[in-house]
Amino acid sequence: MQEKHYRLLFLSTPVGALGSGVGGGVELTLQNAAKALIAKGHTVEIVAPEGSQTEVTKLTQIAGTAQISAQTQVGTDVVMLPQNSVLENMWSYARDTQHQFDLIFNFAYDWLPLYLTPFLQVPVAHWISMSSLSPVIDAMISKTVELFPQAIAVNTRACADTFTAGDRLMIMGKGIDVSQYQFVSQPNAPKLAWVGRISPEKGLEDAASAAQSTGLPLHIFGLIQDQAYWQQIQIDFPKAELHYEGFLSTDELQMKLGQCSALLMTPRWIEAFGNAAIEAFACGVPVISYRSGGLSEIVRDRKTGFLVDMGDVDGLIQAISQLDTINRLACRQQLDAEYSLEVWGDRLEKWFSDLIENYSYYNLWRKNI
């Protein structure tokens, strides 16, 4: 542990309440980052939209209208802010309280926080949780790293490579609280799992198709974000045994996920990371996924799962037939070696310490111009 203890303000995603599932993997990422840094003696306050819940640390709830999810704005060249925007209100809170903190940690995938970075008197670290989706945010990321090198982090190399300024982004990886997940050496019955927001970019139809062909039940965990899409899948794959389990707490999720033979992750976009994959590993569950995006950096083909080309349902089916060649312990071992909260906490702490130190030089420079 380093000597300095930082006071950190975490600003959650403005697309929905923390704990609702609307924010996807970023909700778990934020809470795990808080846990990792608190364990190192730092203090963390979380600011999140009204209705949020967390047991990790002090939470300040902010009222206002939720931001539209970036994945519905692919390719757009405009930024949108609703009337009485919760994003705007969260950043007003950050402006008013900034002097109580050493650093602000932003989890919004949005233009406004990037733009505000040079207007604040404390350094801002940005967690960019999705790949490049819109030119207007991509351009603002380039401008921000120009002024503040090291201020922006992503999970994986694959995610960084989708941005114009990709070679200037920090690759931070991820960590989860291993103690929350129980390793299961053998599932209680052959069955498949699929975990994620039910929304077209997550490609549930490919997993449903593989389930229909193999005759294995597919247990689906996650928030239904697009009801019409979900209904269409049930129409398109009438013989697939699909069990919708709802959006579960981490504890309930890990209990059920651990009893599955494999997790199918079939995204039809460049998945920046794929939290569900490392949660599956923690339970000893191999991951069958596409050789694309962050998942190609997480899954070790034929060791902790299988990688096939995007959209190759026959490849998924073949991988399912070879699941008995995977040692479930290897999955948990990869998790322990690469994604522990302790190692991730060290990385985050070093990142923040560099940013805080460099920011004082930036301020000196700013005063002299």
Residue 145 tokens read as: 């790293």
- How would you classify the pairing of strands 124-127 and 218-221? unpaired
Residue from 105, 181, 221, 306 binding ligand UDP (CB under 6 A) = 221
Establish if 60 lies at the interface with ligand UDP (CB under 6 A): no
Establish if 158 lies at the interface with ligand UDP (CB under 6 A): no
Cβ atoms 44, 67 nearer than 8 A: no
Q: In this complex, which beta carbon is closest to ligand UDP, that of residue 17 or of residue 195?
A: 195
Of 48-56, 72-80, 100-108, 271-279, which part binds ligand UDP (CB under 6 A)?
Answer: 271-279
DSSP-assigned beta bridge partners for residue 287: 263, 305
- Rounded to an integer, what distance in angstroms lies between the CA atom of residue 254 and that of residue 169? 32
Residue 45 tokens read as: 């306050």
Listed in sequence order, the DSSP H helices in 196-249 are 204-214, 227-236
Looking at residue 272, what DSSP letter applies? S
Establish if 287 lies at the interface with ligand UDP (CB under 6 A): no
Of 44-52, 248-256, 316-324, 352-360, which part binds ligand UDP (CB under 6 A)?
Answer: 248-256
- Rounded to an integer, what distance in angstroms lies between the CA atom of residue 154 and that of residue 138? 13
| Residue 221 φ then ψ, to 5° | -120, 125
Query: Smallest distance, Å, CB 268 to ligand UDP?
Result: 12
Amino acid identity of residue 90, one-letter, is M
Establish if 276 lies at the interface with ligand UDP (CB under 6 A): yes
Establish if 327 lies at the interface with ligand UDP (CB under 6 A): no
Q: Name the burial class of residue 161, with classes exposed (0-12), middle (13-18) and buried (19+) by CB atoms within 10 angstroms of its CB.
A: middle
Query: Smallest distance, Å, CB 327 to ligand UDP?
Result: 23
DSSP-assigned beta bridge partners for residue 47: 11, 60
Residue 137 tokens read as: 């945010």
Establish if 273 lies at the interface with ligand UDP (CB under 6 A): yes
Q: In this complex, which beta carbon is closest to ligand UDP, that of residue 94 or of residue 285?
A: 285
Establish if 197 lies at the interface with ligand UDP (CB under 6 A): yes
Decide: helix, strand or coil at residue 44.
Answer: strand
Residue from 30, 137, 253, 308 binding ligand UDP (CB under 6 A) = 253
Query: Smallest distance, Å, CB 173 to ligand UDP?
Result: 13
Q: Where are the beta strands (DSSP E) in the chain?
A: 7-11, 43-49, 58-62, 103-106, 124-127, 152-154, 170-171, 192-195, 218-221, 242-246, 262-265, 287-290, 305-308
Query: Smallest distance, Å, CB 369 to ligand UDP?
Result: 40
Establish if 274 lies at the interface with ligand UDP (CB under 6 A): yes
How many C-beta atoms lie closer than 10 Å to residue 224's C-beta? 16
Number of residues that bind ligand UDP (CB under 6 A): 18
Residue from 16, 24, 286, 305 binding ligand UDP (CB under 6 A) = 24
Q: In this complex, which beta carbon is closest to ligand UDP, that of residue 222 or of residue 345?
A: 222
Of 18-26, 45-53, 161-169, 301-309, which part binds ligand UDP (CB under 6 A)?
Answer: 18-26
The H or E element containing residue 93 is: helix 86-97
Tokens 């490609």 belong to residue: 203
Listed in sequence order, the DSSP H helices in 110-248 are 111-116, 135-147, 157-160, 204-214, 227-236
Establish if 28 lies at the interface with ligand UDP (CB under 6 A): yes
Establish if 173 lies at the interface with ligand UDP (CB under 6 A): no
Of 20-28, 156-164, 203-211, 346-354, which part binds ligand UDP (CB under 6 A)?
Answer: 20-28
Q: In this complex, which beta carbon is closest to ligand UDP, that of residue 173 or of residue 196?
A: 196
Amino acid identity of residue 26, one-letter, is V
Of 24-32, 102-110, 304-312, 360-368, which part binds ligand UDP (CB under 6 A)?
Answer: 24-32
Establish if 222 lies at the interface with ligand UDP (CB under 6 A): yes
Q: In this complex, which beta carbon is closest to ligand UDP, that of residue 71 or of residue 117?
A: 71
Nearest alpha carbon to residue 106 among 118, 96, 97, 94: 94
275-283 helix and 328-338 helix, angle to the nearest 10 degrees: 120
Establish if 219 lies at the interface with ligand UDP (CB under 6 A): no
Binding positions for ligand UDP, rule: CB under 6 A: 21, 24-25, 28, 195-197, 221-222, 247-248, 250, 253, 273-276, 279
